[in-house]
Structure 1
Amino acid sequence: MRDLKPQAELSQALLTWYDAHAREMPWRVGPADRAAGIRPDPYQVWLSEVMLQQTTVAAVTDYFQRFTRRWPSVAELAGAEDGDVMAEWAGLGYYARARNLLKCARVVADELDGVFPDRYDDLLKLPGIGPYTAAAIASIAFDRPETVMDGNVERVMARLHDLHDPLPGCKPELKAYATALTPTERPGDYAQAVMDLGATICTPRSPACGICPVIEACAARRAGTAADLPRKSPKKPKPTRYGYAYLARLEDGAWVLERRPDKGLLGGMLGWPGPDWSEAPDDAPPFAGAWIDLPGEVRHTFTHFHLILRLRTATLAHPPSAEGIEVVAKHRFRPGYLPTVMRKAHALWQAQ
């Protein structure tokens, strides 16, 4: 590693660049406002960081703005109906995050008087907050000198040090490099500066090295290997699972839905009844009906597998009594309240 003085110079170069080029985001307090004494809202920092996991800024912005218009404080979010929050979350995926979002809001509102802890170790105790999110909140909201590691930061560190060991095995080494560069002055701005650098200049493909504020310090640039880093261990191919979705309506137009278990994929969400998804799913209907097979199929990809769903539909004279079943009146049903894969199934049904 480099000695302390060049590290301090490198951190300052990033901060100077950030002062001029910081991205504007609805949850961010920019460097000029921050210098004027305006502090970030920990609620908005937390909410944005949870939403941004595995997702892009562009995808999150509209969701964030809708959430904060509807629930402008952690106390108001804590008092929200679970179903309303899940409906607003639909399309962001990773629904366990939405469930933990509510759990965390309620702990903060009910047990901490609506005040987020300002230290990493205390933040880590809250539901749904892991090492990355705890570091991000402590750093960005409270200016604690924590090391914030996301994919952008890993890429910048791998290139600065020309590290060729593959991810994820080299994560500890990359974090050590990032920790050494984190300053005690303006650590929140610095954390956002490195992430902005990775998102706008030190990009995965075709990095814009010519305008990089730390080009002189970049070992990978000197070696001509920047575009090849960071290296990643080969990914295992995703398996494909199969399933059936049973779209049933009552004669008055009400829809028959199923509440999924709290734990597991799409936990706590409403969706179409059907068997567990597997290589050879059970094709027995979940309840009696004059089922008709619909042509076509729904294809959806989750983090760890691809899914192919076949659809069956029926009109029922009476609500079924199967466990977990909920009947939603025609005037209350909104496809947008369903998770994406279930919306796809409804769209295919609608197209028949």
Structure 2
Amino acid sequence: MTDAHADDEGAAWATDVRAALLAWYDLSARDLPWRRTRDPYAVWVSEVMLQQTRVDTVIPYYERFMARFPTPERLAAAPEDDVLGMWSGLGYYRRARMLHRGAREVVARYGGEVPREPEDRRALPGVGRYTAGAIGSIAFDRPEPLVDGNVARVLARLRAIDTPLGRGDTERALWADAAALVRGERPGALNQALMELGALVCTKTAPRCDRCPVASRCEALRLGRGGELPVPRARRPPRRVELVAVRLGRPGEVWLTRGEGALFGGLWGLPTVERGPGERPVDAAARALGDHGGVALDPAPCGTIEHALTHCRLRVTAFSASAASAASPPAGDRRARFVRLDALAEVGVSALTQKLLALTAARPGPTAAGEAPRRHGGSRTPAGER
């Protein structure tokens, strides 16, 4: 086959697939709140939220977030704690921080207008090739391709690509096909059609090939390989981490610390440490409390929970402790504070913290009959033990 013939076949493939996808999308697209606008900021927010998160989970978060921060200016002016509070429970909190930083840059450099040029968009914090393509095609009607998990699956099956996802040659082939498809009318609708097809029809397991508008162009279906493609990327087994957390309470309040490192990433949560080799959980709990004075630690754990993150599996043993009513954080420590239980929604707490608060709610301090509290820190006697 000559290069010219191959180019003609490729163009015909793209034309056929594009037409079929757009016709199907016009009839089958879900009515989602971010599809009712072409505001580039709204598209940006929705695409960041949708990364690694289900649509039905995102909808209420998106609506609340846009009501609170309807413009880049409003988001840029908000304290980080307010932003994380609105994101609380959605997970992957680095997304929220990058979006916040990006909004501040849009205000500072572009007068509050999301930039039209793709290279300017990709220079924003947290905006990669995919997000830039989504904003460019949907909001600005520019022929910019995108490839996410759903699109990669659709294209890998259409083309019967049998090299692993994530490999350089695989990624180049996927982006080339995505670029060929988006070079035509309605690029934003075309990109959304690809994503919608992957979400509703060309699913990871049990693809609904009988409902697929491009089945006649699918090489994987023709070869009987629809269920085995795409070839997944090689992944390392998740790391297992043993943690200990302590709920330190006083009437109506709970002590929160701002976490550091890759696991906690600046979120507010219960004092938490990783257990050392051979370390008793109760000793780790005392270490988690640090030098906080006027504290009685219950030596009996409240229980243990499992929590999955992208690259690790956490096993967390929870303890409870009570603080004297006059206890306060060390002077000048902005990484720790008491927070009212009815105000937790106003700060960014993770799903793990919510699980731990629920686990420890029945025993917020060492007051159960027959249990001797373990004194920790300073010499003050905790409230209720005088």
- TM-score scaled by structure 1? 0.90
SS at match of 1:65: helix
> Which residue number in structure 2 is paired with residue 84 of structure 1?
82
Gapped runs of 5+ residues in structure 1? 30-38
For 2:34, what is the secondary structure of its paired residue?
coil
**2:16 is aligned with 1:9:** yes
Aligned counterpart, 1:67: 65
Shift of 1:71: 1.9
Which amino acid in the other structure matches residue 339 of structure 1? S
> Over the residues paired in the alignment, what is the CA RMSD in angstroms?
2.2
Give the Å deviation of 1:68: 1.3
Q: How does 1:279-298 map to 2 (within 5 A)?
A: 283=284, 284-285=287-288, 286-288=290-292, 289-292=295-298, 293-298=300-305
Task: Between 332-341 and 284-293, report the one with greater CA deviation.
Answer: 332-341
1:311 maps to 318
Aligned residues: 341
Seen in structure 2, the aligned counterparts of structure 1 residues 108 and 68 have a Cα distance that, compared at 3 Å, is same
Alpha-carbon distance change, 226 to 321 in structure 1, aligned in 2, over 3 angstroms: same
Structure 1 range deviating more: 218-227 or 71-80: 71-80
Contact 1:335–1:343 (8 Å) recurs in 2: no
Residues 1:224 and 2:224 are matched in the alignment:
yes
What is the CA-CA distance between 1:79 and the residue it aligns to? 2.0
Aligned pairs (5 A) from 1:250-269: 250=250, 252-261=251-260, 264-269=262-267
Q: 1:49 aligns with which of 47, 50, 54?
A: 47
Once residues 200 and 329 of structure 1 are traced to their aligned partners in structure 2, the CA distance between those partners, rounded to angstroms, is: 42
Q: Closer, same or farther in 2 for the Cα pair 1:107/1:167, shift >3 Å?
A: same
Match of 2:358 in 1: 347
Task: Name the SS of the counterpart of 2:296 in structure 1.
Answer: coil
Q: Which residue of 1 aligns with 2:337?
A: 326
Post-superposition offset of 1:333: 4.2
Unaligned ranges ≥5, structure 2: 1-5, 364-386
Partners of 2:267 and 2:349 within 8 A in 1: yes
Contact 1:95 1:266 in 2 (8 A): no
For residues 195 and 149 of structure 1, the distance between their equivalents in structure 2, rounded to whole angstroms, comes to 9
Query: Is residue 248–residue 315 contact of structure 1 (8 Å, CA) maintained in 2?
Result: yes
Q: Partner residue of 1:26?
A: 33
On the 8 A contact 1:335/1:346 being kept in 2, the answer is no
Asked if the contact 1:241–1:278 (Cα under 8 Å) also holds between the matched residues in 2, the reply is no
Aligned counterparts of 2:30 and 2:314: Cα–Cα separation in 1:
36
Partner of 1:178: 178
Q: Which moved more, 1:17-26 or 1:231-240?
A: 231-240
Q: What displacement does 1:157 show?
A: 0.8
Q: Offset at 1:320?
A: 3.9
Partners of 2:127 and 2:342 in 1: CA distance? 37
Separation in 1 of the partners of 2:322 and 2:246? 11
Q: Which moved more, 1:266-275 or 1:117-126?
A: 266-275
Q: Which moved more, 1:70-79 or 1:145-154?
A: 70-79
Q: SS state of the match for residue 133, structure 1?
A: helix
Q: What is residue 99 of structure 1 aligned with on the other side? A: 97
Contact 1:52–1:60 (8 Å) recurs in 2? yes
